[in-house]
Amino acid sequence: MSREIIITGGDAHFFPWIIAAISSLRAHAETRALDMGIIDQGLTEAQRAQLSAFGCKIVEPQWTLPVPQEARTLRNIGLVARTALRDYFSGYEIYLWFDADAWMQTPEFVTAYAEGARARGAAVVTENGPGYRKTFTDWKWWAGNMVASFGVLDGLRCSFATSINIGVLCLKDTAPHWQQWQRYYTKALERTGKVNMDQHALFAAIHLENLSTAFLPARFNWLPHLSCPVWNAEQKLLCEPTAPHRPLSVIHLAGPRKDRPYEVAHLSGGSFATSLTYPAMQQHLAT
Contact status, residue 25 vs residue 104, Cβ threshold 8 Å: yes
Write down the pLDDT at residue 1: 57
Distance in angstroms (rounded) separating the CA atoms of residues 265 and 239: 10
Alpha helices in 66-208 (DSSP H): 74-81, 85-88, 108-120, 136-150, 152-159, 177-192, 198-208
47 three-class SS: helix
Write down the pLDDT at residue 177: 99
Give the count of alpha carbons within 13 A of 33, CB side only.
6
Phi, psi at residue 94, to the nearest 5°?
-120, 125
Distance in angstroms (rounded) separating the CA atoms of residues 233 and 237: 7
Write down the pLDDT at residue 101: 98
- Going by CATH, does the domain composed of 4-219 fall within 3.90.550.10? yes
Write down the pLDDT at residue 2: 73
Distance in angstroms (rounded) separating the CA atoms of residues 206 and 219: 21
Of 133-137, 207-211, 277-281, which gets the smallest average pLDDT?
133-137
Q: Which helix (H) or strand (E) holds 168?
A: strand 164-172
Q: Is the pTM of this model over 0.85?
A: yes
Contact status, residue 278 vs residue 103, Cβ threshold 8 Å: yes
Contact status, residue 35 vs residue 54, Cβ threshold 8 Å: no
Distance in Å from the first CA to the final CA of the chain: 38
Contact status, residue 177 vs residue 122, Cβ threshold 8 Å: yes
Every domain of the chain with CATH number 3.90.550.10 lies at 4-219
What are the tens digits of pLDDT across the range 182-200? Answer: 999 999 999 999 999 999 9
Of 208, 13, 181, 187, the closest CA to residue 97 belongs to 181
Give the count of alpha carbons within 13 A of 66, CB side only.
10
